[in-house]
Amino acid sequence: MAESNKMKDMPVNKLMVQMGIPMILSMALQAVYNIVDSAFVGNMRVGSEAALNALTLVFPVQMLMVAVGIGTGVGTNALLARTLGQGNSKKAAKVAGNSLFLGVIIYVVCLLFGIFGVKAYISSQTVDAEVLQMGVSYLRICCVISFGIIFFSLFEKLLQATGRSLYSTIGQVVGAVVNIILDPIMIYGIGPCPEMGVKGAAYATVIGQVASAVLLFIFHIKLNKEFEHGAKYMKPDAGVIKEIYAIGLPAIIAQALMSIMVYVMNLILKFNPSAQTAYGLFYKVQQFVLFLAFGLRDAITPILAFAYGMRSKKRIKDGIKYGLIYTIALMILGIAITEIFPGAFATLFNAGQSREYFIGAMRVISVSFLFAGINVAYQGIYQALDGGVESLVISLLRQLIIILPLAGIFSIFVRNGQMGVTLIWWAFPITEIVSCFVGYVFLKKIRKNKVDVLS
C-alpha cells in the first residue's frame, strides 16, 4: 500500500514532480517516435513526398484510435484513483476489469474499420493515386493490429492510477525503442528484411505498440496489488461503465475532436498539397510540445481525484496551483525550441516543397502553445473534480467551434503562396487565447462549487 500512502501523504508539489516526470517522458517518447516515423519516411529513396502526404492523411484515424483508448483510460484512471482513495478495493477491481472489457469492444470496431473503411476515408482527402495507395496500406495495418495501442493505453492508466507511473514509462520506452530500431530496417530493407517502404513504417509502429502493451500487462498483474485481478471482473457492469464514461467521454470527445480538426484542416488545405503536408508535419512537432502538457495532466488528474475522494481541500488547491505552474514552465520551453529551430525540424523531415510552409506554421502556431498547455491542464483539473461538461466545452471551443470556422473564413482570402496560407495559421493562436479565458471562468466556478464547500 506504499503507493496509495504516497498519494495520500506526500506533499503535492513533490508528488506531482515524482509522478509527472515519468508521464511527461512517456508522452514525449510517444510524440518522438511519431516524428521519427515521418523522418525515416521523408528520407525514402523513392516517393518520399507522397509518403509524407499519406502519413498526414492517415494521422486523424490514428489519433481517433488513441483517443478512444486514452479517453477510456482517463475515465478508468480518475474513477479507480477516487475509489482507492475511498478504500473500496472491491469496486476498484470491477473498474479495472470493465475497462479491459471495453478495450476488447474498441479493438473489434477498429478491426472492422481497417478491413472495410480505410479506402473510402483516404479517397475523401486526395486524388493522387500514389498517395492513396500508400495511405490505405499504412492505415489498414495500423487498424488491424490496433490492439497494441488500445491495451497499452488502458494498462498505462491503470498503473498511473495507483501511482506507478514509472512502470508505464518503462513500457513506453520499450515500445519506442523497438519502433525506432525497426523503422529503418523495415522501411529501407536492411539485412534479411525486404524493403517495405510505408508498410514497413506501419509494421514497426504496431510491433512497438504490442511490445509496450505486453510489458504493461505484466506490470499491472504483478504490481497493482491494491485490488484483485481476474476474468470475472471483466463481466460488464452497466453502473461501472457509466461512471467510467461519465469521466472519460469528455476526454474521448476531446481527443476525437483533434482527429476531426486535423481531417477538416486537411480538407481546407486540399487546394495546396504542400501546405497540407506541412500542416501534418507541424502537427507532429506540436504534439511533441503539447504531449508534455498531456503527460503532466495525467499526473494532475489522479492526484486531484485521490484528494477529492479524501475530501482534502488543501491537497486539491495545491494540485491546481502546482499543476498550472509546471505546465506554464513546460510550454515556455516548448515555444523556445520551436521558435529557435524550425529549420532544423524541416531538414529532419526532408520537407522538400513543403519546407517554407512548414517553417511558417512553426513560427505562427507555436505562439499558441502557452495557452493550449493551460487549457490542457484545466481539462485535467475538471476531469478530476467531476467537471466533465466544462472539459467538453473547452475541447469543443479549441477544436471545433472557433478554430474550424475561423480557418475556413481565412482560407477564403487565400490566393497563392506562403503569405496567404500564413493567415490560416493565425486561427490557432486566436482560438487558444479565447478558450483559455473561458477555461479560467470555469475554473473559478468549479473551485467555488466543488472545492470551497469541502470541510
Cβ density class 129-151: b for 16+ within 10 Å, e for less: eebbbbbbbbbbbbbbbbbbbbb
Q: Give me the pLDDT at residue 3, please.
A: 53
Q: Give me the pLDDT at residue 140, please.
A: 97
Q: Which segments of the chain have a pLDDT < 70?
A: 1-5, 33, 415-419, 455
Q: Give me the pLDDT at residue 375, please.
A: 96
Residues 6+ apart with CB under 8 A from 73: 99, 153, 154, 156, 157, 158, 248
Q: Give me the pLDDT at residue 315, please.
A: 92
Q: How far apart are CA 125 and CA 273, in angstroms?
A: 10
The SS3 call for residue 454 is coil
Q: What is the DSSP string of 124-155?
A: TT---HHHHHHHHHHHHHHHHTTHHHHHHHHH
Q: Give me the pLDDT at residue 84, please.
A: 86
Residues 6+ apart with CB under 8 A from 337: 289
Q: Give me the pLDDT at residue 415, please.
A: 57
Q: Give me the pLDDT at residue 416, please.
A: 55
Q: Give me the pLDDT at residue 169, please.
A: 81
Residues 6+ apart with CB under 8 A from 38: 52, 55, 281, 284, 349
Q: Give me the pLDDT at residue 392, please.
A: 84
Q: Give me the pLDDT at residue 182, please.
A: 95
Q: Give me the pLDDT at residue 418, please.
A: 59
Q: Give me the pLDDT at residue 47, please.
A: 86
Q: Give me the pLDDT at residue 145, please.
A: 97
Q: Map grid coordinates 504542400 to a residue.
A: 274
Q: What is the DSSP letter of 368?
A: G
Q: Give me the pLDDT at residue 417, please.
A: 54
pLDDT digits (tens, 9 = 90+) for 119-172: 999 999 888 899 999 999 999 999 999 999 999 999 999 998 888 878 988 898
